[in-house]
Structure formats: C-alpha cells, structure tokens
C-alpha cells in the first residue's frame, strides 16, 4: 500500500477526526513534509476534508463507512446551477462536513445587534439595483399590493406548492392547482400535506388582502404563523404564539434560544430593525435571514419566513419570490450557513438565483394576464362583506339580500353590474376560497344545506 493510501485509510477509519501529529505517530515511516503534501492532494481531490487550524486541525474522510454512524451530506451539485461566490463555497465546505466535525453553537445575539438598518447591507448597492431591475412591474406606481392582487390566482398556486415542496410535501403543481382552485384533495396524499397547502393559501391571502395594513409587527407575524400552522402542531396552543420551550434543529449543531423572555425580547428587536429598512429587497432578505435564525415559534419558522420575505415585495408591487425550482438541499444548506456560522453569503446567492427564476416566470405570464376588473377592485371590500353576510344568515333569501345591500351602498349607475358580479361570485363559492370572505367550512355547509334547491 502506498503512503498516500495508508494515510487515507487511517483518516477514514478514525470517526472523530485525526490530527497530523496523530497520523505521523501511526505512520512513523512517513516524513512530515511528505504527509503534508499527500494530505493536501487528498483534500484537493475531495477524498478528505479538514477542520480547524494549526495543531488542532483535524482530517475527516468523505468515504466514511456507514457502520461508523456519521451523517455525511454529499454535495448535490448546487454549484452546477447556482452561481456561488468564493465565500459561499467556503460555507458549503464547512456545512458539508459531518456533524461531529462542526462546532456546536448557540444563538449569537451580536449577529442581530450589529445590524444597523440602512447602514449595514447584506445586499450590496449593485445587487439591489439588479434585483429592482429584475422585479420591476408596470404596477410600480399603483397602490401597494396592486400587482400581487393581479397575479393572486397564480401566486397562490406557485408559492403554496413551492414552499410546501421545500418541506417535503409530495403534492405536484397540478395537484396544488386542483386543491386551490376546485377544492379537490389529491388521491393518496396524507391529510397533513393537504392541510399544509391549504394553510399556505390562507396565509398568502392574509398578506395580499391586508397589504394596506400588514407590517413587520407582532400582529402580522403571529397571524401569519397561525395561518400556516393551523392543525399541524402537536399543541394547538403553539399556533401564532412565541414558543415557551426549547427546540432542536435536525441535522444541525445549532441550538436556538430556549428562554421565552429572551425570545420575546429578541423578536421585538428583530421586528423593530426590519421596519426601519427602506429598501424592499434588503428588508425581504433580512427577514429570510433572521426569522428562521431566531426560531421564535415552536415550528414552521422557515415557512413563515418565506411568506414574510414577500411582504416588502408585495407592498412595492415587485415580482414575488415564489421559490420555484429551489432544491431543498440547497435551501437547507444555505440556512445552515446562517444557523451555524452566522454567515449570509450562501443564502444570498440562493436568494438572487431564486428571485431571477421567479421574475422570469412572472414577467412572462404578466403579458397574458387580463387587467383586474375595475368594478371588482373598487368594491372588493363591499363584495366580500355582502357574500359573508349572505352565507352567515341562512334565513335570508340570497338574491333579495344582495339587492338590498347593493342598493344601500352602491351608486345607482353601478348597482346592476355589481349585483350580477356578486351573484356570480356566490355561484362559484367553494371551500377553497372561503378564507377570502372570512367564512368557516361549517358556515358554508349550513348555507348550502339551507339553499340546496337554489344551488342546482
């Protein structure tokens, strides 16, 4: 056996890593300079990797036998399709080590404290200009949320599907469309997966429909989490609530804060800083970095952050970030770079790549979208309230109730057209759009039962 192979064999069979001094003790016939040269070659060829500095530097084998029991994340070609900076590649090299080679670390409050809104920039000025150019829409000077409402049907499907997919959900894009548009659950799928998709839909609608008032405050974030976590947490009391207990991060050496008072205090600081950021993309990325890092909720933190990341983009009438085509492994590893190293470069590169994919999709479909119905846009709150009142008052005759409500609130010149629009909305009502009108499934079922003959 050659001296190189002898060193490699010793490194591979040492589960906890081995230093150069230990290797030289095991192989006294190999000179130090020779060993250093051969180890460098093994690292270059990807056969081993190193962790630590100086005399404490340890070497680990990438061909670790399974019986050793070390988790090892093999590279999945992330750099082949996502342009990575040298800093990002450095993060990958660290994160791709087995757990035993990575240093356990807790929440670093200094990471948040050091951030100065509009002075500290995770996204450089040139990168922000590039993102604004990519995401610009023709609705830029319209009221906040105009663009997200225009594309809401497509947005509900794409973001619900892609975000759920990052959590291992096996619904296809077509399955998701059938569920959201027609209320049809996919055959053979777990109830948990169906619930996850529907929760995303409700949460996105919560943001889009309340864009005029939605901000990075406790109310918005708590209710966003509540919508995403409904019927998915072991303890329903954790829905929309700051966690009261410690949590572990799977396949990570990161340990978040565990004292609820500290979490509350840090959460408040996080929101305060987020609200001061003036650039939509910097604000968006800040939330993508710091919300999962804090882990303020018992679970579903990353899902909450992915939707919260879109709030500044919705408000500025920019293209959304839908996470279409983002590989789960790439997203997980970029997030681990923040958790374990408090470094944002890999997540930043992924953010830019993912946003470019989203804009290519949405700027293309925007050309084919019909302009929003001006009547529906002007009276959307009235329409929702009338439909809510009709459904929740089963004793009323639907048509008569609509006629009376329209006559009381709408100018005479628009009454006939709006009445017809509301009747058509009522005919199309199904369980997949109930949240839009503030309705519960039980209320819809009761109304259908009371007016079954008129629905046929």
Q: What is the b/e burial string over 250-284, where b = at least 16 CB atoms within 10 angstroms of the residue's CB?
A: eebbbbbbeeeeebeebbebbbebbeebebbbbbb
Longest CA–CA span in the chain (Å) reads 99
Nearest residue to 77 (alpha-carbon basis) of 56, 92, 97: 92
Annotation-wise, does 93 bind a ligand?
A: no
Name the one residue in this structure whose structure tokens are 């406790």.
218
Q: Is 301 annotated as a binding residue?
A: yes
CA distance 203 to 223: 8
Closest among 433, 430, 415 to 375, alpha carbons compared: 415
* Contact in structure between 280 and 222 (CB atoms under 8 Å): no
Residue 160: both structure tokens together: 């619900």
Can you tell me the distance from the alpha carbon of 425 to that of 419, in angstroms, rounded to the nearest whole number? 10
> Judging by beta carbons within 10 Å of its beta carbon (0-12, 13-18, 19+), is residue 413 exposed, middle or buried?
exposed
Bridge partners (DSSP) of residue 61 are 48
Question: Is 304 marked as a binding-site residue?
Answer: yes
303 is in an annotated binding site: yes
Query: Binding site annotation covers 373?
Result: no
Q: Establish how many alpha carbons lie within 13 A of residue 383's alpha carbon, considering only the half-sphere containing its beta carbon.
A: 22
End-to-end CA distance of the chain: 83
| DSSP symbols for 213-247 | T--SSHHHHHHHHHHHHTTTSSSGGGTTS---S--
306 is in an annotated binding site: yes
Report in angstroms the alpha-carbon separations of 16 from 41, 49, 384. 21, 13, 62
C-alpha angle with apex 49: 47 to 54, nearest 5 degrees?
140
Strands 58-61 and 254-255: unpaired
Q: Are 145 and 212 in contact (CB under 8 A)?
A: yes
- Strand 18-19 and strand 105-106: pairing? unpaired
Distance between CA atoms of 179 and 373, rounded to whole angstroms?
A: 25
Question: Which residue ranges make up the annotated binding site for ATP?
Answer: 299-306
Q: Which residues are annotated as a binding site?
A: 299-306
């Amino acid at each position: 056996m050659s001296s190189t192979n002898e060193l490699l064999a010793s490194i591979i069979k040492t589960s906890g890593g081995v230093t150069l001094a230990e290797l030289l003790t095991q192989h006294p016939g190999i000179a130090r300079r020779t060993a250093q040269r051969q180890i460098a070659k093994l690292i270059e060829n990807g056969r081993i990797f190193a962790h630590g500095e100086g005399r404490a530097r340890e070497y680990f084998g990438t061909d670790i036998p399974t019986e050793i029991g070390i988790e090892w994340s093999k590279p999945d070609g992330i750099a082949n399709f996502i342009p990575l900076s040298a800093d990002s590649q450095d993060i990958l090299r660290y994160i791709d080590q087995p757990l035993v080679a990575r240093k356990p670390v807790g929440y670093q409050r200094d990471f948040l404290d050091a951030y100065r809104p509009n002075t500290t920039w995770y996204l450089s000025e040139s990168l922000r200009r590039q993102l604004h150019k990519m995401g610009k829409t023709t609705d830029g000077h319209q009221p906040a949320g105009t663009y997200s409402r225009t594309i809401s049907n497509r947005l509900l499907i794409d973001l619900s599907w892609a975000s759920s997919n990052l959590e291992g959900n096996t619904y296809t894009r077509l399955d998701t469309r059938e569920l959201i548009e027609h209320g049809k659950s996919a055959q053979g799928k777990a109830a948990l997966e169906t619930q996850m998709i529907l929760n995303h839909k409700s949460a996105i609608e919560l943001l889009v429909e309340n864009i005029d008032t939605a901000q990075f405050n406790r109310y918005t974030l708590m209710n966003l989490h509540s919508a995403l976590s409904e019927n998915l947490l072991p303890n329903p009391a954790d829905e929309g609530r700051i966690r009261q207990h410690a949590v572990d991060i799977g396949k990570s050496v990161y340990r978040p804060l565990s004292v609820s008072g500290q979490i509350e205090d840090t959460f408040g600081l996080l929101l305060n800083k987020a609200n001061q950021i003036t650039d939509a993309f910097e604000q968006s990325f800040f939330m993508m970095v710091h919300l999962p890092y804090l882990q303020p909720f018992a679970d579903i933190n990353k899902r909450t952050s992915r939707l919260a990341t879109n709030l500044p983009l919705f408000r500025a009438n920019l293209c959304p970030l839908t996470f279409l085509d983002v590989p789960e492994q790439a997203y997980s590893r970029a997030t681990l770079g923040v958790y374990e190293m408090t470094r944002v470069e890999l997540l930043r590169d992924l953010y830019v790549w993912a946003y470019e994919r989203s804009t290519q999709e949405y700027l293309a479909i925007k050309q084919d979208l019909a302009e929003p119905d001006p009547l529906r846009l002007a009276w959307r709150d009235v329409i929702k309230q009338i439909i809510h009142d009709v459904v929740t008052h089963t004793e009323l005759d639907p048509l008569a109730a609509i006629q009376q409500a329209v006559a009381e609130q709408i100018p005479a010149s628009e009454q006939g057209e709006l009445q017809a629009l509301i009747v058509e909305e009522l005919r199309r009502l199904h369980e997949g759009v109930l949240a839009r009108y503030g309705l519960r499934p039980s209320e819809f079922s009761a109304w259908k039962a009371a007016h079954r003959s008129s629905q046929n």
